[in-house]
Chains A and B, each alone.
Chain A
Amino acid sequence: MREKKIYVLAILGTILMVATMYDILVVMPDEAQQGAIGKMLLVHVPAAFAAFTFYGVAVWNSIKFLIKKDFHADSLAVSNIEVAQVFTLINLVTGSLWGHIIWGIWWTWDFRLTSQFMCFMLYLGYLLMRPAVADATQRATMSAILAILAVADIPLVFFAIRLRDARMQHPSPVLETGKMDPSWWTPFLLMWLVYLLIGGALIMLRLRQETVRREMDSLRRELHAM
Chain B
Amino acid sequence: MEANELYFFYGYSAAWIIVLAYVFMLVRRGRRIDSELTRLKSLVEDRER
Chain A positions near chain B (C-beta within 8 angstroms): 21, 24-25, 34-37, 39-40, 43-44, 47, 83, 86, 89-90, 93-94, 97-98, 100-101, 198, 202, 205-206, 208-209, 212-213, 215-216, 219-220, 222-223, 226
Chain B positions near chain A (C-beta within 8 angstroms): 3-5, 7-8, 10-12, 14-15, 18-19, 22-23, 26, 29-30, 33-34, 36-37, 40-41, 43-44, 47-48
Which A residues are in CB contact (< 8 Å) with B41?
A: 219
A213 touches B33 (CB 8 A): yes
B26 touches A209 (CB 8 A): yes
CA distance A7 to B36 in the complex (A): 25
A188 to chain B, nearest CB (A): 14
A18 to chain B, nearest CB (A): 11
Which A residues are in CB contact (< 8 Å) with B29?
A: 209
A97 touches B44 (CB 8 A): no
6 contacts between A and B (CB under 8 A): A89-B18, A97-B11, A100-B7, A209-B29, A212-B37, A219-B40
Which A residues are in CB contact (< 8 Å) with B43?
A: 219, 223
Q: In the complex, which residue of chain B has the Cβ closest to the Cβ of A222?
A: B44
B18 touches A40 (CB 8 A): no
B4 touches A94 (CB 8 A): no
B14 touches A94 (CB 8 A): yes
B30 to chain A, nearest CB (A): 6
Q: In the complex, which residue of chain B has the Cβ closest to the Cβ of A220?
A: B40
A206 touches B26 (CB 8 A): yes
CA distance A213 to B34 in the complex (A): 9
A98 touches B33 (CB 8 A): no
B23 touches A36 (CB 8 A): no
Which B residues are in CB contact (< 8 Å) with A223?
A: 40, 43-44, 47
B36 to chain A, nearest CB (A): 6
CA distance A198 to B20 in the complex (A): 11
B25 to chain A, nearest CB (A): 10
- Give the one of A40, A44, A98 with max B CB within 10 A: A40
CA distance A116 to B19 in the complex (A): 19
CA distance A83 to B26 in the complex (A): 11
B48 to chain A, nearest CB (A): 8
B11 touches A44 (CB 8 A): yes
- Give the one of B11, B26, B30, B36 with max A CB within 10 A: B11
Which B residues are in CB contact (< 8 Å) with A100?
A: 7
A37 touches B4 (CB 8 A): yes
Given contacts A213-B33, A216-B33, contact A43 B7 (CB under 8 A): no
A24 to chain B, nearest CB (A): 8
CA distance A90 to B16 in the complex (A): 9
